[in-house]
């Protein structure tokens, strides 16, 4: 475990509780554009009472199953759950899973700019027994958008960027985020806040963005610095900040909280989670809450604290989850913020 000397900072503590609540109330006036890889999360719920006689694996007696929004769709879902407005751009297959995904987006109130493609819709299926994930299996294509499909997305960027207050790039490395897409986005969205949830192998695409939100492993690989203590954490964060010419870097550290790097320094934020059942989608919650908070007028530090508390809410639930304004205000109030 990495230990830190300073875990909070005066500017955040100086904010009165009602002012943070006012920021959250302001979410409803903001629209966030989410660009990235749409995923359909399927959960199969059951119980285990025996081991298979065919192989040393548990036999799951299925009790229920359901579908949830995942990937970039879950980022948009978090924005809407927090009271904001969201438009999502991405690829959707023409298969049955694609229809389920479109229905979920429509029912959630998320506006869409979708490219329907013959490829299979990305589906992550998780088998859960006794609140524990037994296995996950994925169906997906990682082929990049090309030709007419790519041009459609690029041509739609202009109008969507004009109508939004901030932009999130949710990169799951499944074909949407490419060098050409990022070049066009950065050119079209000058002056807009652009946040990226990164993927290893794509860090070179994110030069010039406002914020990236890697976890420890992604930060290590993206910076080529093995993070093992405070010194290497600081080196990795500052390396990413300089290498990408980014406005800020937020490294999420699981049970140890987050570290926010800006040109003026680094702020360490302790975790807000009281208990952790499932970290699925926590990164989606972080970038959604951060971007929405900043668009509503929060400083980078305040946005990081709000995002940290939003993530603490969702990891206490099993399955892809999202926080609400009421839940967020409650946890901030309970922590004296």
Residues with a known catalytic role: 284
Q: Are 208 and 244 in contact (CB under 8 A)?
A: yes
**Helix locations, the chain, DSSP H:** 10-14, 17-25, 72-81, 96-108, 147-162, 179-188, 216-223, 230-244, 282-295, 300-314, 325-334
Residue among 282, 252, 262, 332 nearest 12 (CA):
332
Residue 288 to residue 293: CA distance in whole angstroms: 8
Residue among 29, 109, 42 nearest 77 (CA):
109
Q: How is residue 15 annotated by DSSP?
A: S
**Helix locations, 36-146, DSSP H:** 72-81, 96-108
CB proximity list for 189: less than 8 A, separation 6 or greater: 157, 161, 167
Q: Residue 109: how many CA atoms within 13 Å on its side-chain side?
A: 9
Q: Are 79 and 292 in contact (CB under 8 A)?
A: yes
Count of residues making up the chain? 337
Cβ-in-10-Å burial (0-12, 13-18, 19+) of 76 comes to: buried
Rounded-to-5 percentages of helix, strand, coil across the chain: 40, 25, 30
Residue-by-residue DSSP string for 234-264 = HHHHHHHHHHHT-SEEEEE-GGG-EEEEETT
Residue 128 to residue 131: CA distance in whole angstroms: 6
Q: Are 58 and 64 in contact (CB under 8 A)?
A: no
């Amino acid at each position: 475990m990495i230990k830190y000397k300073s875990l909070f900072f005066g500017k955040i503590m100086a904010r009165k509780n009602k002012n943070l609540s006012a920021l959250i109330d302001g979410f409803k006036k903001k629209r966030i554009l989410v660009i990235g890889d749409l995923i359909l999360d399927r959960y199969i719920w059951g119980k285990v009472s025996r081991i298979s006689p065919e192989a040393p694996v548990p036999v799951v007696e299925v009790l229920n199953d359901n579908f949830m929004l995942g990937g970039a769709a879950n980022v948009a879902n978090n924005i809407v759950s927090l009271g904001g407005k969201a438009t999502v751009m991405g690829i959707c297959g023409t298969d049955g899973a694609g229809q389920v995904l479109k229905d979920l987006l429509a029912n959630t109130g998320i506006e869409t700019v979708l490219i329907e493609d013959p490829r299979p819709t990305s589906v992550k299926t998780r088998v859960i027994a006794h609140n524990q994930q037994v296995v996950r299996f994925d169906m997906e294509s990682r082929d990049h958008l090309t030709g007419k499909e790519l041009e459609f997305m690029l041509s739609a960027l202009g109008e969507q960027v004009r109508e939004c207050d901030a932009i999130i790039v949710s990169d799951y490395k499944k074909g949407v985020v490419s060098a050409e897409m990022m070049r066009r986005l950065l050119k079209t969205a000058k002056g807009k806040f652009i946040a990226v949830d990164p993927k290893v192998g794509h860090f070179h695409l994110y030069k010039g963005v406002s914020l990236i939100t890697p976890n420890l492993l992604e930060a290590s690989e993206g910076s080529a610095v093995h993070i093992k203590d405070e010194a290497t954490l600081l080196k990795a964060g500052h390396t990413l900040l300089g290498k990408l010419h980014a406005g800020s870097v937020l490294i999420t550290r699981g049970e140890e909280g987050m570290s926010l790097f800006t040109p003026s320094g680094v702020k360490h934020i302790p975790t807000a989670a009281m208990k952790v059942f499932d970290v699925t989608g926590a990164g989606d919650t972080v970038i959604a809450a951060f971007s929405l908070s900043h668009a509503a007028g929060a400083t980078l530090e305040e946005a990081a604290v709000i995002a940290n508390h939003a993530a603490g809410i969702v990891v206490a639930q099993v399955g892809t989850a999202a926080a609400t304004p009421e839940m967020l205000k409650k946890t901030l109030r309970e922590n004296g913020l």
